[in-house]
Structure 1
Amino acid sequence: MKRLLAKSYDRKIHNQPPDYALLIQHSRDVAAACKALAKVTGSVALFNAGLEAEILHRFGKTLLLNGWSQDLGKGNSHFQSMVTNQTGFIQLLRHEVISGLLLFLNEPLQDWQEPLKDIKLIALWGAMGHHRKFDYQTHPNAMVPPLTVHLAHPDFNAILTEMGQDLELGDPPKFEQDWKIEHNLAQDLLDELFENFEKSEANFNNEKERRLLALIKAYGIAADVAASAVARKGESAKNYSLAQFVTNDLSIGFAPEELKTIVHTWAWKSTKRHPQEWDISKLPPSFIIREFQNQVAASESYITLAVAGCGSGKSLAAYLWAQNWCDKLSGNTNFRLFFCLPTTGTTTEHFKDYALESGIPAELISLTHSRSSVDLETMAATADQEEATEGANTTEAAREALKAEQDKIDALALWSTALVVTTTDTVLGLMANARRSIYSIPAIMQSAIVFDEIHAFDDLLFGHLLVFIKNFPKLPVLLMTASLPEARLRAIQKVRPDMHLVPGDEKLEQLPRYYLQYPVNNEDIWDEVTKCIAKNGKVLWVRNRVDWANEIYDEVRDRFRNISVNVYHARFRYKDRSIRHRRVIDEFKNEGKPVILVANQVAEMSLDLSADLLITDIAPIPGLIQRLGRLNRRATPEKPGEPKKALICPQPKVKGDAAKPYKKDELETAEGWINRLIALNKPLHQKDLADEFSALSDDREFDYAKAEKEACFFSGLWKTRVGMTRSEGYTISVILEKDYEQCDDKQYGEPTAKWLRKHEFTIPFKSEALKWKQVSGIRIAPDEAVLYDYDEITHEGKGAAWR
């Protein structure tokens, strides 16, 4: 008799199914991972969610029931056909749905599970959602023959027997015959489930029950990922231990001294002294930690908001804060730090500045999430259709499966990483059931979290932040921004009344830095640029659109042929953008040499530089505050210097909507803010910017009810689907067709994630891009559609544009 399989395997290598491919062994492995996760991180997860320590036993048993239940439904004829290399096989129902039908509606199994009735609902809702594809859209596929659930198979009985022993249920029922399900019966059974689940939703009006359900779902998914990875690597069950893997990887963390090393290394780097002169056991003699930074570090609240101007030292304050939390928590958990920033550019630069040269062992820090005890070739192979969306064709299913495997690798790498510098989506994606975020939850629950630049969050992402901090009230979180609308400040305070607000250093915040001029004409602009260059100054010119930036770049190069002129935006391949980024930063640090940089909005966060003259298009107030933060950035009370000019240009007269990518009312509000500042009739400081922003802030309350609904991690209950992390924008990520054809870094016939990241860039969205081929979800731009201007030798060029 054929064994029941959970995974496909290479029949050229194995005459018989290896252990990892067997359904009974995979079920054991998932259960073992559930037990280990509950033991290692269960207590801290419950504590973070504000749940009582007394329910740890309930949590562990519920998670164990979830683990044993996930894949019972794989013992059906359709799934077994699918994993025996029948490419493109269409199932009547997904396996996790069949698991639910069995355990909710089969009377002998219901009676057997009666002792677990108090935990069954949460456990099985989690199990049915462990591929994030169960809700009202779930339906049996039409025109598909009936399937047979192999209830009478010896393997099925063996799984139930071990499940009963593990959960103290006693002997399971023995089935003498299999169960045949055809389309109409499948639909009737689903309708019955939906009706029962709708009635049960009333049991989850209590937010603590919703939190427990969400944790069980996420930890069950994480257990499945760990089991797949470790078992495939070991192949034979005697060669691996899930408990050991989970315990070892999740036991890695920081000691306070290691975080102190990051702080000291950064401080010595800022002195410009040769590394041989550094003594990282202490701070440099002349280095002073500001009072603002000490106040952030000393915050006792589980949630702290630092609102301070650009260049005030918020990042350093964050590491000091983390060091103090590490001191407090090192006895309770393996301390980790997630440092989250809005964009890949800011993330990369932060990693370089603080982590890369800190002296911390490379295996303890991560930017790219590339380190793991498993790799793509050792991940357990599953049928492509298991990760594909409904209706996907064979090619799409294969691509989605490859992307899913890469997400598993990236997430499992974080289990053994103490410092993760990442984009905000890695953590807040949890609220949208994002795959990588859910896989990472055991690491997230052991961490302190920094969310930087929160002013840059759109409403959807900010809503996810609110739901996250409300539902994890005991997870240490530091929020940082240069400015925040009053409505958003009130929203944070409403969900977290315990929030501790730390304002910036008064001496820095009230240091005169800027002269604003608005509106300005071309003649004014070119006069000021010429004067600045004559004094060997640094000019930053920010446009609201890439094509506008490229036009100004060409004009500046024509006018100033003997000085360095660069253009910087997101339409460069990542590898080219990194080179341009480093060149720009280095040239702005080079004193006594004039330089002009033309950029778009990426300058608001991605560039840590100080200009002597700022020219900018009018933009929403938070964006203008960030742009002004790059003007006279290095001024201090000790070395104040003279205030610098900021020339703000009105909306240009162009065809179409000149406000794009912003809204017209945002720019009108910004104009009012600018006029109020100019009316002060004095050199302006950062506090002036913030005060006048507050005076103009919209009084409407942030819609938290909408945010809760959109955060399907908590609101979904029995329904588990993927939501959205960010609102849709105006751009789309692509790679060049010629790059794709020349790719020499492939796995399983597709470019690796690392290669894709180096070569992708964004262009404005056009509907025709939807017709292009894809690789790992990224469109391949045909040469006849997109022009890419870049010289690999001189590193000059303007990047991508539609032809």
Structure 2
Amino acid sequence: MKRLLAKSYDRKKSSEPPDYALLIVHSRDVSTACKALANLGGKIAISNAQISISKLEEFYITLVTNGWMQDTGKASQHFQEMVSGKPEITQLLRHETISGFLFLLVPELSEWIKTLPINPTIAIWGAMGHHRKFDKGTMEKNVEELIIKVEHPDFQTILQEMGSDLEIKQSPPIFSKPLIIGVNKNDICDLPARESLNKIKSQFKELEKKFSSEEDRRFIALIKAFGIAADMAASAIAKKYQSANKYSLQEFVRKTLSEGLKPEDLRKLIHQWAWKEWRKHNQFNTKFEQQNLRKLPPNFKLRKFQKQVGRAKTKLTLAIAGCGSGKSIAAYIWMLLWCKRFQQQGRTNFRVFFCLPTTGTTTEHFKDYALESGISEEQIGLTHSRSFVDLETMAETSDQEEVIKDNDENDPPRVAEAVLKAQRDKIESLALWSTPLVVTTADTILGLMANSRRGIYSIPAIMQSVIVFDEIHAFDEVLLGHLLVFLKNFPNLPVLLMTASLPEQYLQAIEKIRPDLALIPGDSRLEELERYTIDYPTTEEKVWQAVKECLAENGKVLWVRNQVEWANIIYHQAITHAENEPVFANTSINVYHSRLRYKDRSYRHRQVIDDFSKKGQSAFLIATQVAEMSLDLSADLLITDIAPIPSLIQRMGRLNRRATPEKPGNPKSALICALSNEKDVKPYESKDLKMAQQWLDALKLLNKPLSQKDLVKQFKLPNNEPEYNYAKAEERACFFSGLWQTRPGFTRGEGYTIPVILKKDLDVWKKDNPKKEKPDQEWLRRYEVSIPIRQEVLKWEKVSGIRIAPQEFIEYDYNENTKKGTGAKWL
């Protein structure tokens, strides 16, 4: 008998299909993973979503039913051919759509599952959406009729085990012949695909009214997400261990999701940071203390603001405090409080997601806090689009059909790229299950609202966690909308929001959907410290004169420009000045932006931080928006293009950053430059720059040195900005709004750049690795560089899904010996 397959396998290595490839084994594994996830995470997920605890049993049964249903459609002839050596085949319908057909339109099966003590519709929606490819636009393909092997012994066994597992008293139906699905009603068949699709979509549309309550939408979303996560885990673990008797999915889920931090782990992290800060200010102390991570350093005191954040008792806390006020460590003090609470509730799997807006901020936070925390490396993790995870620890688990797009069947390279990305998402998400402290980009969590693969795969870990979203002022409209919907629908999940400033309409939007919000301002003594003087508008002559005067005093200069090309121009002008003017002698001059290869950018970042840390030595940095968040440095002079108010507040947060009430020093100058061409506002919008002009004019009228409180207070004054459109955000958040439709949406608004690999780098790699087909993911991410998007990019070849930039289009300026250069630019 030819067995029914769930996965393809290497027929050169095995004449018979290994366990992981069998449909019957995979179906068992998915249902087992569903049971394990429901037992371990169901109760807390329901609680986080404020769903009645009385629905816990329904959650369990619905999820397990979903797990059994998911791949029954793989009994189709087309799918079996696809995994048996014909990957290019076009299927009449995807397997998960067929699964829905079976339990909705085949009377024997639809009547059988009606005896369950749940509404099977939700389980069916979960099954049909478990590859995020079913919605109102789903259509049949115009190919030959499709045979579903419902009479096959493997299919019958799946139904029998499903019935036994779910305790369905009635025996499952027995089929004596296959089921035939035709293209439309003109074909001789049991079910016409076109008419059947139209029928069930109409039924689903009608049912939307029945599931209109918030509780129903949350329940459906959790069923779908946990079902997808269960399928991912079942596929990955089975493929790794090959034989069913070598692994236990229940044990895997229990072990990975039971990992947690203890209060002493977070205490150690906080003390490690405190000792690091203490050494900065006591490096010449002759009585240098031996570091003891069990206590704070001598005479070291946490700030009042940090203690207040740590004592916050509400599920949602917003800390608005100026740059340099110690928000990050306040967040870890907050985590310590929640860790103790978890422990008091008998929960030992305390875990944290610390989310930042960009890859640069994420990496630096990981280095500065998690990596030096003293917590074991197995318990901390960094994840974003460039963080490296060892792909060799787990074999490929993504089959072609899982990732194929509607029009890509005959485009093997595109399919291969999608498979690679799916592998990476699975492996990195699964790694998060066993990582209690994760530093990541906000997209990992908020991508859940857009049905992103990584967000959904990570949901079992997310539901067990407390979450910090830092620098929320930097979220664009789409990402902020996802944050609002996330907060609204998981009201019992502990979340800390942090920022130096926030537009009033954003604050009002958060308060409207979460009246329980606790707002904690920064320390008044720090916030009211007069740090800045503002000169706006200024002149080029005045700017360069100020630069020379600052450098002559061995000061630190930060010049922030809105576009990379503008930053490079100033950098080259600075180099020219250095060649001709003594005042620039011994000054470290550098440029920092996103057009550097990731490995070069990482080196440049550390170099810049070191340059600004050296006392008695001048430094001059020209940067772009990357300086707003990812650079923890203090300048003596700030020069900046006019930018939106939150951006200007962030940039000014790098000016006179180390001033304290005990050592206030003198206010430092911020020179704000108007744009030379008022129409060239990218990457911003004209209305935001006009608001910034009004804000600067209002600050000048104060006629005094300015504090962080002054900056924020003027920002909060009433303006004509419309109320944030939460209804639109809800619509975009297809995780909840989708109901029966499951397709990926968007996490962020449209960007201006695309990552590429330089052809000359790839050529060098090929020369050094003649026996390898392509670079591994670590190499790709180290050599990846972002460039502005142009139409030509779409015609370039790819390696593992990343475009290869030809030398005739892209020039890369960087000296490997001196580590100097301006990076990539179009020719």
Write out per-residue CA displacement over residues 11-31 of structure 1, whole angstroms, 9 at most, x where no aligned residue: 111111111110000000000
Change (3 A) 1:675 1:134: same
What's the counterpart of residue 187 of structure 2? none
Aligned partner (choices 368, 388, 393) of residue 353 of structure 1: 368
CA contact 1:487–1:697 (8 Å) conserved in 2: no
Q: Are residue 685 (structure 1) and residue 707 (structure 2) matched?
A: yes
What's the counterpart of residue 484 of structure 1? 502
CA contact 2:270–2:333 (8 Å) conserved in 1: yes
Q: Are residue 779 (structure 1) and residue 797 (structure 2) matched?
A: no
Q: Are residue 140 (structure 1) and residue 140 (structure 2) matched?
A: yes
What's the counterpart of residue 197 of structure 1? 204
Write out per-residue CA displacement over residues 175-208 of structure 1, whole angstroms, 9 at most, x where no aligned residue: 0000111211111111111011111111111100
Write out per-residue CA displacement over residues 731-780 of structure 1, whole angstroms, 9 at most, x where no aligned residue: 22222122233346899944333222211121112111122223344322
SS in 2 for 1:116: coil
What's the counterpart of residue 460 of structure 1? 478
Q: Are residue 603 (structure 1) and residue 627 (structure 2) matched?
A: yes
SS in 2 for 1:338: strand
Q: Are residue 378 (structure 1) and residue 394 (structure 2) matched?
A: yes
CA contact 1:88–1:385 (8 Å) conserved in 2: no
Aligned partner (choices 417, 423, 434) of residue 416 of structure 1: 434
CA contact 1:372–1:416 (8 Å) conserved in 2: no
CA contact 2:33–2:230 (8 Å) conserved in 1: yes
What letter corresponds to residue 231 of structure 1 in structure 2? A
- For 1:467 and 1:262, the matched residues in 2 are separated by 32
SS in 2 for 1:78: helix
What letter corresponds to residue 645 of structure 2 in structure 1? I
- For 1:120 and 1:254, the matched residues in 2 are separated by 38
Q: Are residue 666 (structure 1) and residue 688 (structure 2) matched?
A: yes
SS in 2 for 1:203: coil
Q: CA RMSD in A?
A: 1.8
- For 1:499 and 1:470, the matched residues in 2 are separated by 11
Q: Which runs of 5+ in 2 are unaligned?
A: 185-191, 580-584
CA contact 1:485–1:697 (8 Å) conserved in 2: no
> TM-score normalized by structure 1?
0.97
What's the counterpart of residue 163 of structure 1? 162
Write out per-residue CA displacement over residues 309-354 of structure 1, whole angstroms, 9 at most, x where no aligned residue: 0000000000000000000013235110100000010001100110
- For 2:413 and 2:787, the matched residues in 1 are separated by 25
CA contact 2:388–2:781 (8 Å) conserved in 1: no
SS in 1 for 2:468: strand
**Count of matched residue pairs:** 800
Change (3 A) 1:276 1:379: farther
Aligned partner (choices 360, 380, 404) of residue 388 of structure 1: 404
Q: Which moved more, 1:744-753 or 1:359-368?
A: 744-753
What's the counterpart of residue 36 of structure 1? 36
- For 1:756 and 1:462, the matched residues in 2 are separated by 30
Shift of 1:88: 1.2
- For 1:406 and 1:743, the matched residues in 2 are separated by 22
What's the counterpart of residue 319 of structure 2? 306
- For 2:450 and 2:777, the matched residues in 1 are separated by 22
Q: Are residue 316 (structure 1) and residue 329 (structure 2) matched?
A: yes
Shift of 1:515: 0.4
Runs of at least 4 residues of structure 1 off by over 6 A?
273-276, 369-374, 744-748
Write out per-residue CA displacement over residues 539-569 of structure 1, whole angstroms, 9 at most, x where no aligned residue: 0000111000000000011112422100000
1:65-464 aligned within 5 A: 65-116=65-116, 118-142=118-142, 144-169=143-168, 170-184=170-184, 185-272=192-279, 277-330=290-343, 331-332=346-347, 334-368=349-383, 375-376=391-392, 378-379=394-395, 381-392=397-408, 393-464=411-482
Q: Are residue 502 (structure 1) and residue 529 (structure 2) matched?
A: no
- For 2:290 and 2:53, the matched residues in 1 are separated by 50
What's the counterpart of residue 738 of structure 1? 760
% of aligned pairs identical? 56
Change (3 A) 1:445 1:793: same
- For 2:720 and 2:655, the matched residues in 1 are separated by 27
Q: Which moved more, 1:557-566 or 1:494-503?
A: 557-566
- For 1:221 and 1:77, the matched residues in 2 are separated by 24
What's the counterpart of residue 189 of structure 2? none
Q: Which moved more, 1:366-375 or 1:46-55?
A: 366-375
Write out per-residue CA displacement over residues 105-164 of structure 1, whole angstroms, 9 at most, x where no aligned residue: 10000111111273311111011000000012211112x211100011011100000001
Change (3 A) 1:284 1:305: same
What letter corresponds to residue 492 of structure 1 in structure 2? I
- For 2:134 and 2:158, the matched residues in 1 are separated by 24
Write out per-residue CA displacement over residues 413-467 of structure 1, whole angstroms, 9 at most, x where no aligned residue: 0000010000000000000000011000000011000000000000100000000
Shift of 1:644: 0.2
What's the counterpart of residue 10 of structure 1? 10
Shift of 1:663: 1.3
Change (3 A) 1:128 1:748: farther
What letter corresponds to residue 626 of structure 1 in structure 2? Q
SS in 1 for 2:13: coil
SS in 1 for 2:466: strand
- For 2:289 and 2:504, the matched residues in 1 are separated by 48
Shift of 1:267: 1.0
CA contact 2:388–2:777 (8 Å) conserved in 1: no
What letter corresponds to residue 799 of structure 1 in structure 2? G
1:378-777 aligned within 5 A: 378-379=394-395, 381-392=397-408, 393-561=411-579, 562=585, 563-653=587-677, 657-695=679-717, 697-743=719-765, 749-777=773-801
Change (3 A) 1:542 1:308: same
- For 2:611 and 2:243, the matched residues in 1 are separated by 57
- For 1:495 and 1:776, the matched residues in 2 are separated by 42
Change (3 A) 1:717 1:325: same
What letter corresponds to residue 314 of structure 1 in structure 2? K
